[in-house]
Amino acid sequence: MTQTDLPRPLPVVRLRPKAEARAIRHGFPWVYSDELVTDRRTQALAPGTLALLEDGERRALGLVTVNPGSKIIARMLDRDPEAVIDRGWIAARIARAAALRERLHDAPFYRLVHAEADGLPGVIIDRFGDAAVIQPNAAWAEAALGDLAAALTEVTGVTTIVKNGASRSRALEGLPEETVVLTGALDGPVAVPMNGAVYMADLLGGQKTGLFFDQRPNHAFAARLARGARVLDVFAHVGGFGLAALAGGAASALAVDGSAPALALAEQGAAAMGAGARFATRQGDAFATLEALAAEGARFDLVVCDPPAFAPSKQALEAGLRAYERVARLAAPLVAPGGYLGLCSCSHAADLTAFRNASARGIGRGGRRGQLIHTGFAGPDHPMLPQLGETAYLKALFFRLDG
């Protein structure tokens, strides 16, 4: 729902007297439920309602979208209290985001909108050539989905738009799961060129939006280590690191994942890039497969593990760090002397220091010593909002292991 759909004047929501307005003024985009006056009037607002946010002294801070049922009760849309939040406003935000991506990439395959960092809170848009996937992960985005899709078409010219409504964030906003084609049609996976490799992205049934564009620079770094190497890609999804390694000249790559459909897409990608003969897959639990490979005496020149978010929240942090340590402990013995180990985390709750320490402990417990040679992050099409640490979620550590 946009501002032009609402009666005037807009409802007003107000920070509690002791709430810190300075963070909001300096760019922090969220108001938590314990920071807002939640009287009966505020609690009655429909999820996604636009409102004017004021501080405890009734000074305007900007326009927010309100969801009384969410821990993040208000999200800043525009710091101009006179702004008109309509399709034109959305199109201007998408156009600004697109200008950055067009400067970064020669082909239209990238994260087009990265939520708060691009001024569209809770909105993820990934572009796959003439198709795009929208994740409306906040109540306001769900209500404004028609305007989002129309503005996206207007700015980019995409002909197919998919709504992916299967994220954990939607559940926290009280939104249902739903994945549908909004415009156009899909007749199968989309071929995505990246780092010299070809990936097959399932925009309807794959993980997230179908492909992880955020790992692009880390794939490229791994490919530099992979020349002539035997490569093991664990938690491979559709072949992320393995196919990049083959494009970089790897002698062979083995992809391990629990999903048979994902591995089938990885095989299609390897075939599309003429590397099918150097590519193999192994379906199964990653931890069990790492143990089995060690028992078989397998060794690789480059091992990369890119697991799902083991620590998606602060409550899961301790267990998540133990899981990252276990991955490192099981993977390290599979690396040939002088070879390389890449370990990744997409858990925003596990910061870089905690993840690095867990990885180092695991390598040591695996009987190996290593040099940390590279630390990678998400690509620049996943910009970070400096005031919001959650936008700096991806870490990739590359070690060279001794004998």
Q: Which residues are catalytic?
A: 346
Cα 361 to Cα 35, 325, 356, 357, 370, distances in angstroms: 39, 6, 9, 6, 11
Buried b (16+ CB within 10 A) or exposed e, 257-268: bebeebbbbbbb
Cα 353 to Cα 218, 330, 348, 398, distances in angstroms: 18, 21, 12, 14
Long-range contacts of 32-40 (CB under 8 A, 24+ apart): 32/71, 32/72, 32/73, 33/70, 33/71, 33/72, 33/73, 35/73, 36/73, 36/74, 37/13, 38/68, 38/73
CB 114 within 8 A of CB 165: no
Give me the numbers of helices (H) and strands (E) for the chain, helices first please. 12, 19
CB 15 within 8 A of CB 53: yes
The Cα–Cα gap between 83 and 78 comes to 7
CB 144 within 8 A of CB 48: yes
Q: Which amino acid is at 351?
A: D
* Angle subtended at Cα 52 by Cα 49 and Cα 54, rounded to the nearest 5 degrees: 135
The Cα–Cα gap between 300 and 231 comes to 6
CB 147 within 8 A of CB 84: no
Give the number of C-alpha atoms closer than 13 A to the C-alpha of residue 113, restricted to the C-beta side: 29
Cα 57 to Cα 18, 21, 34, 186, 236, distances in angstroms: 11, 10, 17, 53, 53
